[in-house]
Amino acid sequence: MDTRRLKLVYLAVVLGLTLVWWAGVPSDTWGQGFWAIRRGLLYYSGLMAIGLMSVAVTLAARPVQIERALGGLDKFYRLHKWLAITATLFGVCHWLIEITPRSMVRRGWVEAPVRAPRAAEVATGFDPFRDLHELAAGVGEWSLYLLLALVAIALWKRFPYRRFFQAHRLLAALYLVLVFHSAILMGPIYWSQPIGPLLGVLMAAGSIAALLSLFRRIGKAHRAVGTIESLTHHAESGVLEVVLRLSTAWPGHRAGQFAFIDFGGAEGAHPFTIASAWQADGRLTFGIKALGDYTRALPGQLFVGQTVNVEGPYGRFDFHALQGRQIWVAGGIGITPFIAGLEALAAGGGKATVDLVYSTRAANAALLERLHRLADAGGARLHLLETPKDGVLDAERLAALIPDWKDANLWFCGPSGFGRGLRRALTARGLPAANFHQELFEMR
């Protein structure tokens, strides 16, 4: 699934919620003046905020049942991010629609609404919409302030990953507060409209996902335990090769998939691409590039025999079961899924015709020897470009290297900007958009 199709899914969720809400709005709402319009928009913004947030929270729980439909975990994490941002914006609009008219009344810009007198009511029994209304309204405003702070932390990529991890757990708790706020303030009228049952299902799914997060149960069914069997630090390229030996069940993985690894401590699990094909021997290899404080510190922290937790496998960057005509393009550490692909080809795990183009600033001699050996064994053709002397790979260079590129499925893993530029250039030259596959490996 490319990003264009992902955007269509995003729009379908937003427009779908809007249309279901619209179906229950009385036809004369928009002709009854300022306060009726304000009330309609207040409910719309609030219902959209909690509805979109519910879908986002559900996706954060990594439901593998929908991974195929959304093109892989990396894809629906991108969708999770878009929905969470949109939900927050609707929440801000909801707050502004709530408070701005009050200021307008104080300034004399609009007249206060005339409320019809109601007959005295005698409270009988517990009515959550009545008895919890004040509490639900009170927690809403403060929850929004905290939500904005936590979303900012989640989006600020320079913020430490462990704080991002902790912020997401707090967001799960905050979401449950907002479910309470929304369920009570929707009131009986909206619960009886088409939007009510839909939001009920979404909030129930989101609440389950939030509780899984709070109790650290996300991905539990896909976890395995192992130990570090070997460590090789390639200082010149900043890559740490970690070989794990699993001691509990692992379902196997396809070349190109990734897993979350928890090496212990407060940092939490990080996603890394699996750099080895599955040989049913319990071994997994990961190539970890020093890209931040955490990964730079790993060579001095990890040790052979250390216990680790692995969760996975995830992802649909799987080379279509290694069939047909394919071009693999790797940039830097993006070579890792292709090492697994070459191993699978060498072991007879597929019949794809493959050209591998590897663009890197500094080629590691041991890695190059391994790539050549695996490519020869699997019948793949290897093209190496060292950018300091060979220049940057672009569409023209690729077309010159591989004349039949328009007939192939192209799989790219590397810097996201590099991939976007190559995709635009190649599709403009005639490559079908559906034939360009790129891992959206950004979890925040």
Three-state SS letters, 89-107: HHHHHHHHHHHHHHHHHHC
What is the CATH classification number for the domain harbouring 206? 1.20.120
User: Which pLDDT score is estimated for 153?
Assistant: 73
Residue 331 lies inside a defined structural domain of this protein: yes
User: Are 165 and 45 in a shared domain?
Assistant: yes
What is the CATH classification number for the domain harbouring 264? 2.40.30.10
User: Are 241 and 162 in a shared domain?
Assistant: no
Residue 24 has pLDDT above 80, yes or no: yes
User: Which pLDDT score is estimated for 114?
Assistant: 72
Confidence class of residue 176 from pLDDT cuts 50, 70 and 90?
A: very high
pLDDT tens, position by position, 328-353? 999 988 999 999 999 999 988 778 89
Name the domain boundary from 283, 314, 345: 314
Pairing between strand 223-234 and 239-246?
antiparallel
Name the domain boundary from 214, 240, 272: 214
Residue 102 has pLDDT above 90, yes or no: no
Residue 444 lies inside a defined structural domain of this protein: no
Q: Which two tokens stand for residue 154?
A: 């989640």
User: Which pLDDT score is estimated for 112?
Assistant: 84
User: Are 193 and 65 in a shared domain?
Assistant: yes
pLDDT tens, position by position, 211-268? 999 998 988 989 999 999 999 998 878 889 999 999 999 999 999 999 999 998 777 8
Percentage, residues of the chain above pLDDT 70:
94
Residue 443 has pLDDT above 70, yes or no: no
Residue 205 lies inside a defined structural domain of this protein: yes
Contact indicator for 242, 89 with CB cutoff of 8 Å: no
Neighbour-count burial of 128, counting CB atoms closer than 10 A to its CB (0-12 exposed, 13-18 middle, 19+ buried): exposed
User: Which pLDDT score is estimated for 356?
Assistant: 96
User: Are 104 and 191 in a shared domain?
Assistant: yes
Residue 39 has pLDDT above 60, yes or no: yes
User: Which pLDDT score is estimated for 369?
Assistant: 92
Confidence class of residue 402 from pLDDT cuts 50, 70 and 90?
A: very high
User: Are 269 and 242 in a shared domain?
Assistant: yes
Backbone angles phi, psi at 142, to 5 degrees: -70, -30
Residue 121 lies inside a defined structural domain of this protein: no
User: Are 159 and 53 in a shared domain?
Assistant: yes
Residue 386 lies inside a defined structural domain of this protein: yes
Residue 441: CB atoms within 10 A of its CB come to 21
Percentage, residues of the chain above pLDDT 90:
52
User: Which pLDDT score is estimated for 123?
Assistant: 60
Name the domain boundary from 296, 314, 332: 314
User: Which pLDDT score is estimated for 442?
Assistant: 61
The SS3 of residue 243 is: strand
User: Which pLDDT score is estimated for 175?
Assistant: 93
The residue type of 439 is E
User: Are 337 and 392 in a shared domain?
Assistant: yes
Spatial distance between the Cα atoms of 239 and 223, rounded to a whole number of angstroms:
25
Spatial distance between the Cα atoms of 155 and 163, rounded to a whole number of angstroms:
11
User: Which pLDDT score is estimated for 122?
Assistant: 57
**Domain count of the chain?**
3
User: Are 345 and 202 in a shared domain?
Assistant: no
User: Which pLDDT score is estimated for 70?
Assistant: 79
Which whole number is the average pLDDT over 352-380? Answer: 91
User: Are 425 and 351 in a shared domain?
Assistant: yes
Residue 390 has pLDDT above 90, yes or no: no
Confidence class of residue 275 from pLDDT cuts 50, 70 and 90?
A: very high
User: Which pLDDT score is estimated for 63?
Assistant: 87
Confidence class of residue 119 from pLDDT cuts 50, 70 and 90?
A: low
Residue 47 lies inside a defined structural domain of this protein: yes
User: Are 73 and 59 in a shared domain?
Assistant: yes
User: Which pLDDT score is estimated for 139?
Assistant: 84
Which whole number is the average pLDDT over 109-117? Answer: 75
pLDDT tens, position by position, 308-321? 999 999 988 888 87
Confidence class of residue 109 from pLDDT cuts 50, 70 and 90?
A: confident
Q: State how far the alpha carbon of 347 is from the alpha carbons of 180, 267, 341, 374, 386, in Å.
A: 54, 36, 10, 9, 28
Spatial distance between the Cα atoms of 59 and 406, rounded to a whole number of angstroms:
35
Residue 145 lies inside a defined structural domain of this protein: yes
User: Are 264 and 387 in a shared domain?
Assistant: no
**Structural domain boundaries, residue 428:** 319-438
The CA radius of gyration of the chain, in Å to the nearest whole number, is 26
User: Which pLDDT score is estimated for 246?
Assistant: 96
User: Are 96 and 170 in a shared domain?
Assistant: yes
User: Which pLDDT score is estimated for 10?
Assistant: 95
Residues for the chain: how many in total?
444
Supply the DSSP string of 136-176, one letter for each residue: HHHHHHHHHHHHHHHHHHHH-TTS-HHHHHHHHHHHHHHHH
Which whole number is the average pLDDT over 394-414? Answer: 93
Burial 365-393 (b: 16+ CB within 10 A, else e): eebeeebeebbeebebebbebeeeeeeeb
Confidence class of residue 410 from pLDDT cuts 50, 70 and 90?
A: very high
What is the CATH classification number for the domain harbouring 433? 3.40.50.80
Mean pLDDT of the chain: 88
Residue 119 lies inside a defined structural domain of this protein: no
